[in-house]
Chains A and B, each alone.
Chain A
C-alpha cells in the first residue's frame, strides 16, 4: 500500500512564525501535491511538484512556498504565518502513469494564533 505521512497531525503556531509542514511518500511517486481544506470550500491546490526541484503554483499559492530536494519528500513553507492560514493541510502523491489518482496523507491541522 502507498503510504503518505505528514510530520504533524496538529500544530499551533504564532502569527509571524515560519512554519514547515513535511510530507513523505514511500512509493517512489514523482508527483506530489499540497492542498488546504476549509469548510464549505473543499480542497484547494496550493502547490504541486512533478519531480525533484520542480514546482508549480496551484490555485492559491500566495503566502506559501515549497521545497522538494528529494523525491520522497515535499515540504510546504509558510514564510510568515497569519491567522487566515489556519486550516487543514493535506499532502498527496501520484504515479507518473496515473497522475490523477492521488493518495493522501492524514492531514495537518494548523492553528495560527
Chain B
C-alpha cells in the first residue's frame, strides 16, 4: 500500500525567507501527488498537483513543487514566505486502481515569524 511521509512536524521561518517542505512517498509506480493547505479553522485547499509531464509544477499563492522520481519526493517550495502562509500543509498521494482514494501525510505546521 502507498504511504506518505512528512518528516517535519513543525517548521518556523521568517517572513521573506524561502521555504521548503518535505514529502516522501512509497509506491511502486508514479503516483498522483498533491499538496493541500489548511488555514486555522478551515478545510483543506488544493495548492498544486502532479499527474505527469513536467516535474516542476506551479500552484496557487506562489507555491511550486518538484517531483523527483529517484528520491520518491515531492517537496513544496516558496521563494519568499508571507505571514499569511502560516498554516498546516499536507502532502497526499493517489494511485491508479486505488479506488479514488488519497493517502495523506501527517502534515507540517508552518509558523512565520515577523
Contact = CB atoms under 8 A, between A and B. Distances in A.
A104 B46 CA distance: 9
Contacts of B32: 100
Nearest to B101: A45
A74 interface: no
B100 A42 contact: no
B34 A42 contact: no
Interface string A81-103: 00000000010101000011111
- Of the four ranges (under 10, 10 to 19, 20 to 34, 35 or more), the interface on chain A belongs to 20 to 34
A87 to B, nearest CB: 14
Nearest to B36: A104
A58 B103 CA distance: 11
Contacts of A101: 34, 46, 49
Given A48-B101, A99-B100, A107 B43 contact: yes
B9 interface: yes
Interface in B3-21: 9
A31 interface: yes
Given A40-B9, A42-B104, A56-B99, A100 B34 contact: yes
Contacts of B94: 99-100
Contacts of A50: 100
A18 to B, nearest CB: 25
A74 B28 CA distance: 33
A26 to B, nearest CB: 15
Contacts of B104: 35, 42-44
Interface in A20-79: 31, 33, 35, 40-45, 48, 50, 56, 58
Interface of A: 4, 31, 33, 35, 40-45, 48, 50, 56, 58, 90, 92, 94, 99-107
